[in-house]
Amino acid sequence: MKTIKIFDPALCCPTGVCGPSVDPELTRVASAIFILEKKGFPISRYNLANDPAAFVEHKEVNQVLHERGPDALPLVMLDGKVEKVGSYPSNEEFASWLGVDVKELTPEKPRNQLL
Amino acid sequence: MFQTFHPKYVVNTPYLFFTGKGGVGKTSTACATAVALADTGKKVLIVSTDPASNLQDVFDIEIGNDPVEVPSVPNLSACNIDPEESARQYREKVISPYRSALPESVVATMEEQLSGACTVEIAAFDEFSNLLTDQELISQYDHILFDTAPTGHTLRLLQLPTAWSSFLEESTHGASCLGPLSGLGEKKQMYSSTVKALSDPKMTTLILVTRPEPSSMLEAERASAELKEIGMENQVVIINGLLQKHIKEDRISKAFFDRQQSALAEMPARLKQVGMFAIPYVPFSLTGVGNLRHMFNSVTHSVEINEVELSEDRLHSLQDLVNDFAQRDMRIIFTMGKGGVGKTTIASAIAVGLAEKGIKVHLTTTDPAAHLDYAFQQKNAYNRLSISRLDPKKEVEAYKEAVLSQNKNQLNEEALAYLEEDLNSPCTEEIAVFQAFADIVEKSKDEVVVIDTAPTGHTLLLLNSAESYHKEISRSTGTVSESVQNLLPKLRNPEETSVVIVTLPEATPVLEATRLRDDLKRASIEPQWWVINQSLYAQQTTDPILQSKAEAEKVWIKKVSEEVAEKTSIVPWQPEEKLGYDKMKDLINSSFSH
């Protein structure tokens, strides 16, 4: 099973609802991770504002930060290698890395099931 | 009819909270109590939790976040919980170890994130909790007195331990929305101890300070009820500034006395259930330890009066101010100043004055404790003038609603519940209020917007957050409403926005307003007009006590009109309360009767 580590920019909260505006991208990512974690997949998330140590201890991340500055965030590591720089994984990427059906990450609301 | 307040009757707990509407004399009462206790040999610490603390003016020494001894009063120490300073220390603690390990640009984004209103509020709250739970500190004092910010702010501070405790209890995915407060989970113990200390009648007394006037009594009642709800049952009311005797033949003296008496007669029912004490009206300002020592034991304390020469031609009426704004087509007008100086009244009068000139006006308040409906009695009764109130609780609900419905279609039930949990974080309130504030300012496209702001400290936090949000927005990927993007540039444009500083002709409000002006200047906002409200000097009275108050005002009127303000408008003390549209017109035209 692949391990995913996500290095966030300095955020107030992972869903972004306490920022100046709600970023739908952040909400999507937070929900996808929430669902994957519930399924037992190993995903770690580090927020620059409250976990800066992680950005120093992971040498590769630190190096990218020195080269590209804060725009490199969010940064995604897959099995210890830098996989994405400057954007979050799409639901399709999450799904293919972990071998799950992408539908499981954005399930339709079970609305009007009986009709 | 009321027992005169003296600390010996009331003080029997280690913690004492002084709260009440701005300007009722919380700081004076708290300081005088602290001095009286220290004089009996007790070890006392006085703490201000007001972001715009006045302790340094009272004791005339520099006071910071750490307790310092007050040289003129043995046994007394003082400190300010300055939210900005607490946040700065917190930020430094988090960031400094990484200054060399991470690039400067990355550290800068951390700093920015840790400068938001959320961090500021929590950092202050953390320090406050510390004072209630740090055994080593507590053991050094017999009494710790809290001189708190005006009610709205304090309610929030006192309710936070409960809010955070229950948020932490209910949260299923840990303290995710605590952002800068990593490790808050571990503080759960501290917060529940805080709640316990606040609600233990052997530990804490809540002292509600009020003036003998309707609005401050209403607010005392509200604070009393809300704080009972979180368990602060041990409460006392102090009626500050009660005129003991008056001169029946003197119109002003009689009106002054009658207004107090009728306010007392109509005291809110629930407030009557609380034990009550009074402090007599004193014509001198309560700065300096000498004056404080007189507060509880002398009414006849004579005041030294310096001859002050005033240039009265520098004092204008409110009508002059209104004319100036109308002529320059100001779109956004703020009233700012310490609580209790009459910002709501002045904002209302300016709004009515502009409406009378045929201008479309929207009047609003961000003060959680304001009573605009009360001041106008009829809502939206006049078609050129509309009125609204920015109620934080309602704004939070609306904000949650909007965010959830925005995401309803993309997320399933579970993910929505997760999102909702983050939205229940107490820090959402700041965001919600901020957005609503931006929306109101945006109305200035179609009408003139007059905004009565919350007391100083809160307003500054709001403006500061305008600044930090503005930076954040520029790199945010979310959808940012136009109103939020436009906010700060608008506030800084002197062709569009004017700030009116409202003050009373007294030491503390003038000193505080001067600091406010300096803060505004730093935010590139330049206030031109000052309004000196409720001036007895601008009235005529033969009452010796009111007259010596009028004399004492001169030095502060001179300072404002000749030193700090570009233009000054003076409003005489009013023999009757000005309520409603027509009475506001009287107020605009009332000027000097010297």
| Phi, psi angles (nearest 5°) of residue A49 | -70, -30
Q: What is the 3-state secondary structure (H, E, C) of B198-241?
A: HCCCCCEEEEEEECCCHHHHHHHHHHHHHHHHCCCCCEEEEEEE
- Lowest mean per-residue pLDDT among A54-68, B160-174, B480-494, B555-569: B160-174
How many residue pairs bridge chain A and chain B with CB atoms within 8 Å of each other?
155
Crossing angle for the helix pair B151-170 and B214-229, to the nearest 10 degrees? 20
Token pair recorded at residue B498? 């004017």
Rounded to an integer, what distance in angstroms lies between the CA atom of residue B56 and that of residue B65? 12
- Higher model confidence: residue B54 or residue B467? B54
How many CB atoms lie under 10 A from the CB of residue B153? Answer: 26
State the pLDDT at residue B570.
Answer: 96
H helix intervals, B275-362: 289-294, 318-327, 343-356
Token pair recorded at residue B532? 């000196």
State the pLDDT at residue B169.
Answer: 55
State the pLDDT at residue B372.
Answer: 52
Q: What is the mean pLDDT of residues B553-570?
A: 95
- Give the best-scoring range by mean pLDDT among B128-142, B168-182, B351-365, B397-411: B351-365
Q: Are A33 and B162 in contact (CB under 8 A)?
A: no
State the pLDDT at residue B425.
Answer: 65
Residue B459 pLDDT greater than 80, yes or no = no
Residue A115 pLDDT greater than 50, yes or no = no
The single residue listed with the structure tokens 């001067």 is: B514
Q: Are B252 and B541 in contact (CB under 8 A)?
A: yes
Whether residues B182 and A50 touch (CB distance < 8 A) is answered with yes
State the pLDDT at residue B132.
Answer: 79
- Lowest mean per-residue pLDDT among B97-101, B193-197, B240-244: B193-197
Torsion region of B342: left, alpha or beta (phi above 0 gives left; psi -120 to 50 gives alpha)? left
- Higher model confidence: residue B398 or residue B16? B16
Compare CB distances from B415 to A26, A31, A47 and report the shortest one's residue: A31
State the pLDDT at residue B118.
Answer: 62
Q: What is the 3-state secondary structure (H, E, C) of A32-65?
A: HHHHHHHCCCCEEEEECCCCHHHHHHCHHHHHHH
Compare CB distances from A55 to B102, B178, B427 and report the shortest one's residue: B102
State the pLDDT at residue A94.
Answer: 92
Rounded to an integer, what distance in angstroms lies between the CA atom of residue B210 and that of residue B290? 23
Interface test with A, best of B94, B411, B485 (most A CBs within 10 A): B411
Contacts of B406 (CB under 8 A, 6+ apart): A22, A24
Instruction: Kindly state the DSSP code that residue B176 receives in the 8-state scheme.
Output: G
Kindly report whether the peptide bond that precedes residue A42 is cis, defined as omega within 30 degrees of 0: no
The single residue listed with the structure tokens 């009414």 is: B299
State the pLDDT at residue B500.
Answer: 95
Whether residues B113 and A12 touch (CB distance < 8 A) is answered with yes
H helix intervals, B40-171: 55-59, 83-95, 104-113, 117-133, 135-138, 151-170
State the pLDDT at residue B454.
Answer: 58
Compare CB distances from A11 to B113, B173, B409 and report the shortest one's residue: B113
Token pair recorded at residue A89? 């994984």
State the pLDDT at residue B70.
Answer: 95
Instruction: Kindly state the DSSP code that residue B449 receives in the 8-state scheme.
Output: E
Whether residues A66 and B173 touch (CB distance < 8 A) is answered with no
> Which residues on A lie below 8 Å from B178 (Cβ)?
13, 50
Give the chain A residue nearest B96 (alpha carbons).
Answer: A52
Rounded to an integer, what distance in angstroms lies between the CA atom of residue B417 and that of residue B84? 33
Query: Quick check: A90 contacting B, CB < 8 Å?
Result: no
Query: Quick check: B522 contacting A, CB < 8 Å?
Result: no
Q: What is the mean pLDDT of residues A3-27?
A: 72
Token pair recorded at residue B494? 């002197």
Whether residues A18 and B101 touch (CB distance < 8 A) is answered with no
How many CB atoms lie under 10 A from the CB of residue B490? Answer: 18
What pLDDT digit, counting tens, does each position of A23-43 carry? 677 778 887 888 888 888 888
As a 3-state breakdown, chain A gives helix, strand, coil percent values, each rounded to 5, of: 40, 15, 45
Confidence of residue B291 (pLDDT cuts 50, 70, 90): confident
Q: What separation, in Å, do the N-terminal and C-terminal C-alpha atoms of chain A show?
A: 39
- Lowest mean per-residue pLDDT among B131-135, B150-154, B494-498: B150-154
Torsion region of A86: left, alpha or beta (phi above 0 gives left; psi -120 to 50 gives alpha)? left
Whether residues B472 and A66 touch (CB distance < 8 A) is answered with no
Query: Quick check: A54 contacting B, CB < 8 Å?
Result: no
Interface test with B, best of A11, A18, A35 (most B CBs within 10 A): A18
The single residue listed with the structure tokens 């007669």 is: B265
- pTM given for the model: 0.73
Q: What is the mean pLDDT of residues B587-591?
A: 83
Percent of chain B with pLDDT over 90: 32
Most distant pair of Cα atoms in chain B: their distance? 77
Query: Quick check: B171 contacting A, CB < 8 Å?
Result: no
Rounded to an integer, what distance in angstroms lies between the CA atom of residue B325 and that of residue B241? 36
C-alpha torsion angle, residues B123, B338, B387, B371 (rounded to 10): 90
Instruction: Kindly state the DSSP code that residue B500 receives in the 8-state scheme.
Output: E
Q: How far is B101 from chain A (nearest CA, A)?
A: 6
Token pair recorded at residue B468? 């930090």
Residue B210 pLDDT greater than 90, yes or no = yes
- Higher model confidence: residue B449 or residue B198? B449
Active-site residue numbers of B?
A: 23, 25-28, 50, 508
Q: How far is B527 from chain A (nearest CA, A)?
A: 27
Mean pLDDT of chain A: 82
Residue B470 pLDDT greater than 60, yes or no = no
Residues in chain A: 115
Distances (CA, A) of B476 to A23, A24, B176: 8, 11, 20
Between strands B143-147 and B44-48, the pairing is parallel
Q: What is the mean pLDDT of residues B239-251?
A: 93
Confidence of residue B455 (pLDDT cuts 50, 70, 90): very low
Q: How far is B430 from chain A (nearest CA, A)?
A: 9
Token pair recorded at residue B386? 């509309």
DSSP three-state, residue B513: helix
